């Protein structure tokens, strides 16, 4: 069985790259953590990989705004390579800080210019909690096999999804680009703390129109095994696999 090669982009401040590497290893891929400088100097080639992942963390300390410096690095140094990657229908995944970088680089939701952002949480503080997520009728193939409501952890200070205007929001909704929304256990859309950041329409993640570019604030790499869940002992009938691992396996299955 072919094991797809996964490039996990690393920069100063990345701190979820090792967890993401382990998750892809369990899912059957061949992940490699690669510093952005290796791509810029040409010693590593993006085209040699089947998946690009920008993991969570605090790239460059989030000194300007979360993911902004990395977004500029991508736009000015890697845009041609990433555009070719996208044209070849290879998955691009952004998790938390990676999601912030993808939208600020203008890659999500429509590859071109920035039309959405992720701003400061309404609580004006870092939110680190497990959240319920309502799976939508997404066009992305990476969320198959998941139940209507899943639970994943979030950990961010700038995760509030904000569209540029009502027209952008309406287009995102019309094209079914929303992957999942913050909700309660009964799939009802609620405010804080269920929506940990005040995201418009409770949006927690989006995809490109073809579903192959995905950005999300929750951390699937922190929900690989059921034992990661704070209430795992209450779910004795569930398999050992966490919802996060299903997501990573779906990416590997698509590449195969």
The residues assigned a catalytic role are: 96, 219, 221
63 CB burial (10 A radius; 0-12, 13-18, 19+) = exposed
Burial code (b: 16+ CB inside 10 Å, e: under 16) for 107-124 equals bbbbbeeebbbbbbbeee
- Residues near 142 by Cβ (< 8 Å), separated by ≥ 6? 91, 211, 214, 247, 250, 251, 254
Q: H helices of the chain, where?
A: 17-27, 36-41, 68-73, 79-87, 97-104, 166-174, 243-255
Strands 127-135 and 149-156: antiparallel
Q: 207 φ, ψ to 5°? A: -135, 170
For residues 106 and 98, the answer to whether their CB atoms sit within 8 Å is no
- Residues near 17 by Cβ (< 8 Å), separated by ≥ 6? 8, 10, 33, 55, 57
- As a whole number of angstroms, the distance between CA 21 and CA 36 comes to 16
């Amino acid at each position: 069985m072919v094991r797809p090669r996964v490039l996990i982009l690393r920069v100063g401040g990345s701190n979820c790259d090792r967890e993401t590497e382990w998750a892809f290893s369990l899912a059957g891929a061949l992940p490699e953590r690669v510093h952005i400088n290796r791509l810029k100097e040409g010693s590593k080639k993006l085209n040699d990989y089947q998946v690009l992942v920008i993991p969570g963390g605090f790239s460059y300390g989030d000194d300007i705004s979360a993911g902004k410096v990395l977004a500029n690095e991508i736009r000015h140094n890697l845009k041609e390579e990433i555009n070719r990657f996208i044209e070849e229908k290879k998955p691009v995944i952004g998790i938390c800080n990676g999601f912030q970088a993808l939208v600020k680089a203008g890659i999500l939701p429509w590859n071109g210019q920035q039309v959405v952002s992720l701003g400061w949480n309404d609580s004006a503080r870092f939110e680190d909690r497990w959240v319920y997520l309502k799976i939508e009728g997404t066009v992305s193939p990476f969320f198959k096999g998941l139940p209507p409501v899943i639970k994943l952890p979030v950990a961010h200070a700038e995760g509030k999804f904000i569209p540029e205007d009502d027209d952008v929001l309406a287009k995102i909704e019309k094209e079914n680009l929303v992957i999942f929304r913050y909700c309660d256990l009964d799939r009802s859309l609620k405010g804080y703390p269920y929506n940990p950041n005040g995201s418009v329409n409770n949006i927690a993640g989006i995809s490109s129109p073809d579903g192959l570019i995905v950005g999300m604030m929750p951390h699937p790499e922190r929900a690989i095994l059921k034992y990661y869940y704070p209430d795992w002992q209450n779910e004795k009938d569930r398999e050992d696999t966490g919802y996060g691992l299903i997501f990573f396996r779906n990416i590997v299955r698509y590449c195969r």
